Amino acid sequence: MGHQHTDPFRLSHPDLEKLNRGLDRRDFLKKTAMGFGAIALNGLLASHQAQGKSLEQQILDALPRIAPKAKRVVYLFMSGGPSQFETWDYKPELTKRMGQDLPDSIRKGQRLTGMSANQAILPVAASAYGFRQYGQSQTWVSDLLPYTAQVVDELCVIKSMFTEQINHDPAITFFQTGHQLPGRPSIGSWLSYGLGSENQNLPAFIVMVSKDASKDQPLYARLWGNGFLPSEHQGVQFRSSKDPVLFLSNPEGYDGKDRQEMLEYLKQLNQLQNESWGDPEVDARIAQYEMAFKMQTSVPEVMDVSDEPQEVFDLYGPNSRDKGSFAANCLLARKLLEKDVRFVQLYHQGWDHHDSLPKNIVNQCKQTDQATAALIMDLKRRGMLEDTLVIWGGEFGRTVYSQGKLSPTGYGRDHHPKCFSLWMAGAGVKAGTTFGQTDDFSYNIVKDPVHVHDFQATLLHLMGIDHEQLVYKYQGRRFRLTDVHGKLVKGILA
């Protein structure tokens, strides 16, 4: 270089000499790609103008064809597989069949897990808890969910969910990414990629995991990972510890000005690397560093609930002041949604009840029921439920038969992927309804089956996305959340 830079934020670099010498063929094509695109765009615009279309109309023509009903999503994932018999799928006939072997005409040769496949009989277990009808919709709800029962007219309960995955990890991975094997982008990452963020100081996709839940099944960060999408679309986990986001705080001895100066130099280095190699991950890295700097201010602000009135804590329940509890995370979820975070996901473990189900499910419902209902009521009274989609459910259901020894108050239930319950509420969902129907044993679906890919397609539709159009080319193939499957579940749409 022939002169010295006086700007402290300008860096000299050998690659700059190459830029001054001229461009080789590869650099020329890379740096003029946008120019070629502009030429093509001008040609298209001229063609449309010749047909009498204004620029505004051309822009409108290019917009997605689906009018979004939801601006944001909060997904309450009940990890472990909640039993539909003790929550949403009322089966009174089972009391008469208590202890009887599951008929072959019902099982129909369906596979079992290794945990119950060798039982001499598969004894039918009726729920130890009662059901009542609530709301104008007269929806049946378990006595274990008295708070959610009070908001049942806001819910659309889907009783006919099904999946092919019979074990936890592939089933959860399938729900979250559309494929049973790890490596695909998660739902929140797809939405971040497809829609971007409406908040420039917080990630579009945020995850929280309850600290007080039973850790019967592990959760892995890949469940909210970006897969092969650019890494700025991965979910960011907020924790209940001193540092809600890992590695966000300044190192000892650094202040905000030091951090900003360091990031400015780092950005220049990354830009030079990008000019040399054209790696899109460099842009993602720059975006992540910039977001991390902004989050140093925005995260402490959103995590601070000291200005919430006492009646809010009373609404969410006694655990809502306990950082990291499900109730506290629900309250934080509402704050994040107010900040226009696109996708908030709460994971609550502990629903894998192979034994002692009547005792264990009581604890799970106590930890989650009041806060779940409070979140819906809080969103509604703030005028946010009309454009927020709320989802509650796990990765599969449980068996009608008892795994292991059966008694009137003691039984367990094995995994059952062929039918289970999930509910949605809020934006674009037909409130106060029940969709789908199972047989008397809740073992098979008899009306309106909803596959996991159908659920994913409907979720994207409510956000204004055609699931067949949201694609990403990777290693020569075009991928999408729903793979090559999925159909819109029109019966649940308002």
pLDDT at position 64, please? 55
Give the H or E element holding residue 312: helix 310-316
For residues 95 and 493, give the distance between their C-alpha atoms in angstroms, rounded to a whole number: 34
pLDDT at position 75, please? 98
**Candidate from 92-106, 248-262, 298-312, 407-421 with smallest mean pLDDT:** 248-262
pLDDT in tens, 179-189: 999 999 999 99
Q: Which of the two residues, 142 and 20, has the higher pLDDT score? A: 142
pLDDT at position 61, please? 54
pLDDT at position 286, please? 64
DSSP line for 25-87: HHHHHHHHHHHHHHHHHHHHHHHHHHTT--HHHHHHHHS-SSPPS-SEEEEEEETT---STTT
Share of the chain above pLDDT 70, in %: 80
Structure token pair of residue 453: 């890919």
Contact 30, 278 (CB under 8 A): yes
pLDDT at position 35, please? 46
**Candidate from 92-101, 123-132, 294-303 with smallest mean pLDDT:** 294-303
pLDDT at position 257, please? 73
pLDDT at position 252, please? 73
Sign of CA dihedral 475, 478, 483, 485: negative
Residue type at 342?
R
pLDDT in tens, 313-355: 999 999 999 999 999 999 999 999 999 999 999 999 999 999 9
Give the H or E element holding residue 124: none
Torsions phi, psi for 223 (to 5 deg): -70, -20
| pLDDT band at 4; cut points 50, 70, 90 | very low
Rounded to 10 deg, the angle between the 55-62 and 25-50 helix axes is 110
For residues 444 and 464, give the distance between their C-alpha atoms in angstroms, rounded to a whole number: 32
pLDDT in tens, 379-389: 999 999 999 99
Q: Which of the two residues, 56 and 137, has the higher pLDDT score? A: 137
Structure token pair of residue 181: 């094997």
pLDDT at position 300, please? 75
Residue type at 184?
R
| pLDDT band at 33; cut points 50, 70, 90 | very low
For residues 197 and 459, give the distance between their C-alpha atoms in angstroms, rounded to a whole number: 17
pLDDT in tens, 411-420: 999 999 999 9
| pLDDT surpasses 90 at 90 | yes
